[in-house]
Amino acid sequence: MSVRLSARFAALKRENRAGLIAYVMADDPDPDSALEIVRALPAAGADIIELGFPFTDPMADGPSIQRAGQRSLKAGGSLNSTLALLTAFRQTDHDTPVILMGYANPIEQMGYEAFAANLSGAGGDGAIVVDLPPEEDGPLRAAFARHGLPIIRLATPTTNETRLTTVLAQASGFVYYVSVTGVTGAKAVGAEAARAAVSLLKARTDLPVAVGFGVRDAASAASIAQVADAVVVGSAFVDEIARLVDDGRAHEAPRAVAAKVRELSEAVRAARQMERA
Amino acid sequence: MDARRNWPDLPDANGRFGAYGGRFVAETLMPLVLDLERAYRDAQADPAFAAQMSDFLRDYVGRPSPLYFAERLTEHFTKIAEAEGLGGAAKIYFKRDELNHTGAHKINNCLGQILLALRMGKTRIIAETGAGQHGVATATVCARFGLPCTVFMGATDIERQKPNVFRMKLLGAEVRPVTSGAATLKDAMNEALRDWVTNVDNTFYIIGTAAGPHPYPELVRDFQSVIGREARAQILEKEGRLPDAVMACIGGGSNAIGLFHPFIADESVRLIGVEAGGRGIDERFEHSAAINGGRPGVLHGNRTYLLQTEDGQILEGHSISAGLDYPGVGPEHAYLNDIGRAQYLSATDDEALAAFQLCARLEGILPALEPSHALARVGDVAKELGPGGLIIMNLCGRGDKDVFTVADSLGVTL
């Protein structure tokens, strides 16, 4: 698996804290601003970056990320331009793991082997493909294995015992626990239920467990950070971009996103200290 | 007489028709589609389910639908063939699925799926609709079986299809406008999937066409196959032999696969689908001919032919017929195309309009604009087969819903 990714999770473990995984969409609101946004994420406290690539029909995403995808497409976004953004980011940052997230069709059109080679060449550290469940991810898994890249598998509140065996069988990198039944950003996570699910997952796998989909504010991020290895936040950052674009102040987006990341990151970093205190 | 060959029983255990089909859904939905498959296998093995289906198909839907000899249309094409120095034209039969309750074939599938939903103990139904035909059929069975129904419909389509929106409301359904994307059928399907992923415990999603994640393409096909089973028995009774060709229009392709499937093993029978050629099949993508003008890809839970850009973004497509206006096609059609068992032609908006008017004047039947596409190619096939040939075309819907569109296209203000 990706050296950057395992090194980052090992470091988080040493520091006894959860990581913050920050999701943003490539080329949202435009290629230059997006590069600036992504470059600012590590210093603001993002431990891992999840970089969305746009798709016209994002069936698992709520309104925030749907609109981010539409802004990206309007600005010329594609899987290719996402890889270009990653390449540009890697010129100045060699340590922050970057995971791509999106839907299968753009990858199908590029070809699984080509995607794996391009992602590896661009300095990527894995991918989450929402509509490739374990039953369908074989070809991509094989291509990724040739390039030492992990496919991040998803577990959800509907994943029962039998299903979990299937999910964990070929999982690598980390396990992404989708904490709500629903689309991204729509419902607030029930922190207690998510914590219980994380404990169950950790009993079944040695892989790090990240929690996402319903985490929007510092309080819920902190609560989950007490038990999970990482917390994924996306819609809250993407909403900052939307707000400023709507106000005609898109140029302020990088600073606003960084400020939001800092707020969430501080909550995540403080979570286990609070627990001990 | 006609030899039947053993065709592989598809889809396979992974829901594949060759390279097509599959279960490309979010992990949250995987346990649900696996549950649905188990429930469907259970229903298939239960004679009570088949008996219940057949009772409702007879007394509520009005089946069997007649197989009608379109004599005047046959004469019309015979004359044209003779004028062209050909020997004549094949006999044309219509499978009259437009005479079903609600006026189209859609009800066959909705009935099967709601009975399945009831067996599974589901208490809420959702559906997507484009033109509103599947929405109306779903709202109809929901009223009949007393389940609350939410229909997702693109805001653009709601504006274009007001009578059907009101029909659904009369039947007690909630019509939820979808404003995401281009606000048409594919966006309505995205939104239905988002609802399903949110309400996993009590909700059953009635998909309207033979597409979506496995087992939907299979079960929709099976529920629609009543069309082909009846037609096969009816033509044997009337003509004493199998037809030379069976023809149907293709949007997602549920009426076509329902007609084709019982004939697949009859290798002497040509299976001919007709896609919506819109304003012409070219790089402008102002058509909905996924097989003739698209490439394989993944959307809405299955791999199939899709209208898309080079980098895999899905295109909207266009057809004068809202029911064919979908950028994909059912995976079994993609497979039948690739192995050469079925042939896929296309007809433009204008050709469908002309066929609509021809059928009205010669047969006294207003066909829906969807089967008008199939009808637009029936003459060519009838001439090619010549006298003594036999064609069955599925007249899968009635045209009352289309009078406004047709009037508009003909420059008539109502």
Are A125 and A4 within 8 A, CB to CB?
yes
The answer to whether the Cβ–Cβ distance between A62 and B194 falls below 8 Å is yes
Check whether residue B140 and residue B46 sit in a common domain.
yes
CA distance A22 to A97: 11
Residue where a domain stops, chosen among B190, B220, B250: B220
Partners of residue A104 in chain B, C-beta under 8 Å = 24, 298
**What Rg, from alpha-carbon coordinates, does chain B have?**
20
Partners of residue B24 in chain A, C-beta under 8 Å = 104, 131-133, 136
Provide the percentage of residues in chain B whose pLDDT is more than 90: 91
Residue A12's Cα: distance from chain center in Å? 16
What mean pLDDT is reported for chain A? 94
- If one counts the domains in chain B, the total is 2
Check whether residue B56 and residue B74 sit in a common domain.
no
Mapped onto helix, strand or coil, the DSSP state of residue B2 is coil
Element (H, E) at A232: strand A230-233
Check whether residue B264 and residue B185 sit in a common domain.
no
Q: Looking at chain A, which residue has its C-alpha nearest residue B316? A: A56
Enclosing domain of residue B136: 17-61+106-220
Quick one: CA torsion of B258, B264, B270, B275, rounded to 10 degrees? 40
Tokens of B120: 């599974």
Q: Looking at chain B, which residue has its C-alpha nearest residue A57? A: B190
CA distance A254 to chain B (A): 26
Residue B331 forms part of a structural domain: yes
Residue where a domain stops, chosen among B220, B248, B275: B220
- If one counts the domains in chain A, the total is 1
Tens digit of pLDDT for each residue in B39-72?
999 999 999 999 999 999 999 999 999 999 999 9
Element (H, E) at A233: strand A230-233
Side chain identity, residue B385: L
Of A107, A109, A182, the CB nearest to B198: A182
pLDDT tier for residue B1 given thresholds of 50, 70 and 90: very low
Alpha carbon separation from A141 to A109, A115, A168, A172 (Å, rounded): 16, 11, 13, 10
Q: Which residues of A touch B (CB under 8 A)?
A: 54-60, 62-63, 66, 70, 73, 78-80, 103-110, 130-133, 135-136, 153-160, 163, 167, 178, 181-183, 186-187
pLDDT at residue B34 tops 60: yes
Mean pLDDT over B139-155 rounds to 97
Q: Give pLDDT, residue A247.
A: 95
Check whether residue B254 and residue B167 sit in a common domain.
no
Closest CA to A186 of A20, A23, A60: A60
Check whether residue B36 and residue B184 sit in a common domain.
yes
**What CATH number should be reported for the domain holding residue A122?**
3.20.20.70
The answer to whether the Cβ–Cβ distance between B298 and A80 falls below 8 Å is no
Of B22, B31, B198, the CB nearest to A136: B22
Are A222 and A264 within 8 A, CB to CB?
no
Check whether residue B337 and residue B261 sit in a common domain.
yes
Check whether residue B75 and residue B40 sit in a common domain.
no
Residue B204 forms part of a structural domain: yes
Q: Give pLDDT, residue B216.
A: 98
CA distance A6 to A9: 5
Residue A125 phi/psi, 5-degree rounding, is: -125, 15
- Partners of B95 in the beta sheet? B67, B394
Closest CA to A135 of A104, A179, A98: A104
Catalytic pick from A50, A125, A137, A240? A50
| DSSP letter (8 states) at residue B245 | E
Check whether residue B236 and residue B205 sit in a common domain.
no
Check whether residue B160 and residue B56 sit in a common domain.
yes
Count CA atoms within 13 Å of residue B288 on its CB side: 27
Q: Give pLDDT, residue B323.
A: 86
Low pLDDT (below 50) residues in chain A: none
Check whether residue B331 and residue B397 sit in a common domain.
yes
Count CA atoms within 13 Å of residue B221 on its CB side: 26
Closest CA to B67 of B227, B279, B180, B272: B227
Residue B309 forms part of a structural domain: yes
Partners of residue B27 in chain A, C-beta under 8 Å = 133, 153-156, 158-159, 167, 178
CA distance A15 to chain B (A): 32
Mapped onto helix, strand or coil, the DSSP state of residue A44 is helix
Residue where a domain stops, chosen among B175, B204, B220: B220
Closest CA to B372 of B389, B391, B384, B354: B354
Q: Which residues, including other chains, have CB under 8 Å from residue B358's CB and lie 6 or more apart? A: B73, B76, B375
| DSSP letter (8 states) at residue A150 | P
Please state the three-class secondary structure of B6-35 as a single string.
CCCCCCCCCCEECCEEEEECCHHHHHHHHH
Please state the three-class secondary structure of A240-275 as a single string.
HHHHHHHCCCHHHHHHHHHHHHHHHHHHHHHHHHHH
Residue B313 forms part of a structural domain: yes
Q: For CA atoms B200, B185, B299, A25, give the dihedral sign.
A: negative
CB pairs under 8 A between A and B: 123
Tens digit of pLDDT for each residue in A82-120?
999 999 999 999 999 999 999 999 999 999 999 999 999
Of A78, A135, A158, the CB nearest to B28: A158
Residue B17 phi/psi, 5-degree rounding, is: -110, 90
Check whether residue B375 and residue B308 sit in a common domain.
yes
Q: Which residues, including other chains, have CB under 8 Å from residue A60's CB and lie 6 or more apart? A: A130, A131, A183, A184, B26, B28, B193, B194, B197
In this structure, the strands spanning B20-24 and B16-17 are: antiparallel
For chain B, the straight-line distance linking the first and the last C-alpha, in angstroms and rounded, comes to: 53
pLDDT at residue B368 tops 90: yes
Nearest 5°: CA angle at A11, between A7 and A17? 140
Tens digit of pLDDT for each residue in B268-323?
999 999 999 999 999 888 999 999 999 999 999 999 999 999 999 999 889 999 88
Enclosing domain of residue A120: 3-276
Tokens of B192: 């239905």
Residue B4's Cα: distance from chain center in Å? 25
Q: For CA atoms A137, A142, A147, A152, give the dihedral sign.
A: positive
**What CATH number should be reported for the domain holding residue B365?**
3.40.50.1100
- CB atoms under 10 Å from CB of A30, counted, come to 18
Per-position b or e across B136-171, b if 16+ CB within 10 A of its CB: bbbbbbbeeeebebbbbbbbbbbebbeebbebbeeb
The answer to whether A50 is a known catalytic residue is yes
pLDDT tier for residue B397 given thresholds of 50, 70 and 90: very high
> Which of A66, A107, A154, A158 to probe the B interface (max B CBs under 10 A)?
A158
Check whether residue B201 and residue B328 sit in a common domain.
no
